[in-house]
């Protein structure tokens, strides 16, 4: 094989022209999604460097990129350890250590003691005061730059000078005509002067007279134009997908009081007016489920169930996001929707991100629905072949009316007879591709693509602040559970330094004596799964030793599934008092008797993750607590953001408030796990700061689509290129 391949270049046959392999920087450009000229032109500077002036060392702070002139007072090659050139620069107000790990004799000469030099680089702290690693070095006294130098977002292997040239080349080649009619821009005060061409050229090559401030804070009109453009592209693409969806068909899941079984594949088995139960008719599954529940729905639950049932009664596929804080009771809402679907004679699928969660859902739903005569199937990756084969048969024949499972649900082999409602729990844990895959499971026969789609209900416990929902989820309908079931006592949260671990263990013993159960969560350290495990195993050993006679379990992601299931079973049944685990229990687990949650190395968790974890307790009527154990490692104190997160946890238990603060701490870029790939991420606009532009874009999108469909399409293509399709999932 190898030989054949090597002889290819000499072949005289009609072989395709040899494709030149991409160079490192070219690959890096691809990785950044910079394929087309326009992509490069829209790759805007992250910030600008000011080489137009010199600063004094006593004015600089860590993190600044500074240009400094001074005299070299010391220069030596350090041979022990890593060979490096160390140079001390003094500018009369302070000194700075320059470090070079690679250097040439010519550099050593230029950096010899006594020379006057100009350096530019990032100021870092260090034992020896200010340090610069590999600064740019020039002789002192040269002319200063007359314009700001753009600095672009980049990745490893793509140096700024290369990227700068690529961007300039892209800018020269790209088609930059305006796609937004000028009259629409009046109302947001963007003058025709700042057309796309002008704005882009300006942002890549700002003229020397402009203030660095207006450029950095994006208040400059050129930035305003680009932000408006970007927001409009996002709104347009979402509106396009919403309209495309409105043209699709879905089974009507209505007439919940009507008990008929449709011919599979036929639409709308129920007459649309069969909403009211005639006297003597069989009560609906939905009604019967309600009657057997051990609790009354909250009014929020009743409201969202109505929103959902109204949606799925229509022949247009529902795309609804159900958001509700942890413990708000989303599962029962899903069960009621499933009941309506099954009652109408169709199949429903519920997909959960983890095996544990799927198991819990399965148990709960079987408990509720089996007594009503509904067949619930079960599908996961760890299933025995025989059981799986049976389940697949049940699903394909349509006998299984509800199917609960993990990602296993979207594998090729799984064929539904007549899927009409797909429910995705903890949807932010799934990727776009996975959601798409579930939607394509509509019919048993893939060739039978009739434009018919299942209804889609996505559930999440990570509430989305309104501005974000408007922006990123404009193509979705959103239902919100803004009320917790009654009788919950608020969870008391305490932040405790790791040195007081023993006190926490005493507290645990006390809780156990009262018959309560405890979660102890150890962090997932992504760089090192091994370390992650050590942490959990050590804690497990420590707690087992400190709590003689108490069953302490251990749960982590690398355990075989049957073991996980056994451990979870012991904890759920109450035999196991303490469960030490990595973050596998993060989502959805429901053990009402657990009343204390200890989170170790809480400083390493994200805010919404902490909130989710805390939501595992406080599910019963008894008082619950959450202890956030933190450690600062070698540092004297916690970092700024870690502190802000822990503070937020103590101050509020409200998921919406947590989400708001999370957004504040992290910025929207990182916030949206949901759109995963980051493709839909706004790069320039900020939904909070640029709310007026977002409002405008929302109003403008339908106007553009109706009045200027071709410009609208060009606009979306320009901004989102090939990505737009993907975003519709
Ligand atoms: P989540 O929204 O986090 O998925 P769950 O669906 O797991 O929440 O519900 C949390 C707990 O609250 C479960 O034990 C569930 O049975 C219970 N629950 C749900 N709705 C109500 C209600 N209206 N009244 C009392 N308990 C409820
Ligand atoms: Mg849940």
Q: Are 609 and 628 in contact (CB under 8 A)?
A: no
CA distance 663 to 473: 16
Ligand nearest to the CA of 612: 1
Per-residue pLDDT tens for 361-413? 898 999 999 999 999 999 998 888 999 999 999 999 999 999 999 989 988 88
Neighbour order of strands in the sheet with 455-460: 376-379, 402-405, 347-351, 419-424, 455-460, 319-324, 477-481
Does position 680 have pLDDT exceeding 60, yes or no?
Answer: no
- Among candidate residues 455, 461, 435, 431, the one with its CA nearest the CA of residue 330: 461
Ligand 1 atom nearest the C-alpha of 328 is 2
Q: How far apart, in Å, are the Cα atoms of 5 and each of 9, 13, 20, 102? A: 8, 14, 15, 38
| Residue % of the chain over a pLDDT of 90 | 47
Check if 405 has its Cβ closer than 6 Å to any atom of ligand 1.
Answer: no
HSE (CB half, 13 Å, CA atoms) of 452?
Answer: 22
HSE (CB half, 13 Å, CA atoms) of 715?
Answer: 28
Predicted confidence at residue 267, as pLDDT, reads: 44
Residue 481 CA to ligand 1 center (angstroms) comes to: 11
Residues paired with 319 in a beta bridge: 456
Average pLDDT score over the chain = 83
Does position 723 have pLDDT exceeding 60, yes or no?
Answer: no
Q: What is the mean predicted confidence (pLDDT) over 115-131? A: 86
SS3 for 552? strand
Predicted confidence at residue 681, as pLDDT, reads: 60
Tokens 């007016």 belong to which residue?
273
Per-residue pLDDT tens for 427-440? 767 766 777 777 77
Check if 539 has its Cβ closer than 6 Å to any atom of ligand 1.
Answer: no
Q: Are 376 and 404 in contact (CB under 8 A)?
A: yes
Residue 326 CA to ligand 1 center (angstroms) comes to: 9
Residues paired with 350 in a beta bridge: 404, 423
Question: Ligand 1, from 298, 304, 331: best to mutate by most atoms within 8 Å of Cβ?
Answer: 331
| Residue % of the chain over a pLDDT of 70 | 84
Give the contacts of 399 (CB within 8 A, at least 6 positions apart).
375
Residue 164 CA to ligand 2 center (angstroms) comes to: 48
Residue 545 CA to ligand 2 center (angstroms) comes to: 33
Q: Which secondary-structure segment (H or E) carries 214? A: helix 212-216
Check if 463 has its Cβ closer than 6 Å to any atom of ligand 1.
Answer: no
Check if 589 has its Cβ closer than 6 Å to any atom of ligand 1.
Answer: no
Per-residue pLDDT tens for 684-712? 887 778 889 999 999 999 999 999 999 99
Residue 658 CA to ligand 2 center (angstroms) comes to: 18
pTM of model > 0.75:
no
Check if 295 has its Cβ closer than 6 Å to any atom of ligand 1.
Answer: yes
CA distance 73 to 92: 11
CA distance 384 to 224: 58
Per-residue pLDDT tens for 302-348? 999 999 999 999 999 998 989 988 888 999 999 999 999 999 999 99
Q: Which domains does the chain have, with CATH numbers?
A: 53-139 (2.40.50.140), 317-481 (3.40.50.300), 491-667 (3.40.50.300)
Check if 579 has its Cβ closer than 6 Å to any atom of ligand 1.
Answer: no
């Amino acid at each position: 094989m190898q030989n054949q391949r090597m002889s290819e270049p000499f072949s005289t046959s009609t072989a395709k022209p040899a494709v030149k392999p991409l160079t490192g920087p070219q690959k890096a450009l691809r990785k950044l999604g910079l394929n087309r000229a326009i992509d490069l032109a829209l790759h805007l500077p992250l910030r600008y460097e000011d080489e137009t002036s010199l600063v004094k060392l006593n004015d600089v702070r860590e993190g600044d990129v500074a240009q400094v002139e001074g005299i070299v007072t010391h220069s030596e090659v350090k041979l022990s350890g890593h060979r490096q050139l160390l140079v001390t620069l003094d500018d009369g107000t302070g000194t700075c250590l320059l470090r070079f790990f690679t250097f040439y004799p010519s550099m050593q000469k230029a950096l010899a003691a006594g020379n006057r030099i100009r350096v530019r680089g990032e100021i870092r702290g260090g034992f020896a005061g200010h340090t610069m690693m590999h600064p740019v070095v020039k002789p002192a006294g040269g002319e200063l730059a007359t314009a700001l130098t753009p600095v672009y977002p980049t990745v490893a292997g793509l140096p700024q000078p290369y990227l700068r040239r690529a961007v300039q080349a892209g800018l020269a080649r790209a088609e930059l005509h305006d796609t937004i009619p000028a009259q629409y821009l009046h109302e947001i005060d963007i003058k025709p002067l700042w057309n796309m061409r002008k704005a882009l050229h300006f942002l890549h090559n700002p003229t020397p007279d402009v203030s660095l401030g207006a450029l950095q804070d994006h208040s400059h009109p050129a930035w305003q134009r680009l932000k408006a453009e970007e927001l409009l592209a996002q709104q347009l693409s979402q509106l396009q997908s919403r309209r495309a969806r409105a043209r699709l068909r879905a089974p009507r899941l209505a007439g919940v009081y009507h008990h008929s079984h449709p011919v599979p594949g036929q639409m709308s088995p129920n007459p649309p007016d069969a909403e009211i139960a005639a006297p003597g008719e069989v009560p609906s599954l939905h009604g019967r489920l309600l009657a057997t529940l051990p609790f009354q729905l909250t009014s929020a639950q009743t409201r969202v169930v109505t929103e959902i049932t109204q949606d799925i009664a229509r022949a247009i596929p529902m795309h609804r996001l159900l958001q509700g804080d942890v413990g708000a009771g989303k599962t029962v809402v899903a069960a009621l929707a499933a009941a309506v679907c099954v009652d109408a004679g169709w199949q429903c699928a519920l997909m959960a991100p983890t095996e544990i969660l799927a198991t819990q859902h399965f148990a709960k739903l079987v408990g509720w629905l089996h007594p009503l005569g509904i067949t619930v199937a079960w599908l996961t990756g760890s299933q025995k072949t025989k059981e799986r084969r049976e389940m697949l048969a049940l699903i394909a024949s349509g006998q299984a009316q509800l199917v609960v499972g993990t990602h296993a649900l979207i594998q090729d082999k799984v064929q539904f007879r007549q899927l009409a409602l797909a429910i995705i729990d903890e949807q932010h844990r799934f990727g776009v591709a996975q959601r798409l895959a579930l939607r394509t499971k509509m019919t048993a026969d893939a060739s039978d693509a009739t434009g018919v789609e299942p209804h889609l209900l996505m559930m999440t416990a990570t509430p989305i602040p309104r501005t974000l929902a408007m922006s990123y989820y404009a193509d979705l309908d959103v239902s919100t559970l803004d009320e917790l079931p009654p009788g919950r006592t608020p969870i008391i949260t305490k932040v405790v330094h790791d040195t007081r671990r023993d006190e926490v263990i005493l507290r645990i013993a006390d809780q156990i004596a009262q018959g309560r159960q405890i979660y102890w969560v150890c962090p997932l350290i992504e760089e090192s799964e091994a370390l992650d495990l050590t942490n959990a195993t050590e804690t497990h050993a420590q707690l087992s030793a400190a709590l003689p006679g108490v069953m302490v379990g251990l749960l982590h992601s690398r355990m075989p599934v049957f073991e996980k299931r056994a451990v979870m079973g012991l904890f759920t049944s109450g035999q196991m008092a303490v469960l030490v685990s990595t973050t596998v229990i993060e989502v959805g687990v429901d053990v009402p008797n657990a009343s204390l949650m200890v989170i170790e190395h809480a400083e390493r968790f994200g805010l919404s993750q902490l909130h989710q974890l805390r939501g595992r307790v406080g599910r019963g009527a008894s008082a619950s607590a959450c202890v956030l154990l933190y450690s600062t490692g070698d540092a004297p104190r916690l970092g700024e953001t870690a502190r802000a997160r822990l503070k937020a946890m103590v101050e509020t238990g409200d998921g919406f408030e947590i989400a708001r603060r999370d957004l504040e701490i992290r910025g929207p870029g990182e916030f949206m796990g949901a759109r995963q790939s980051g493709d839909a991420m706004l790069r320039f606009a900020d939904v909070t700061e640029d709310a007026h532009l977002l409002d405008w874009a929302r109003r403008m999108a339908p106007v553009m689509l109706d009045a200027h469909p071709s410009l609208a399409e060009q606009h979306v293509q320009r901004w989102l290129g090939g990505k737009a399709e993907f975003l519709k999932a």
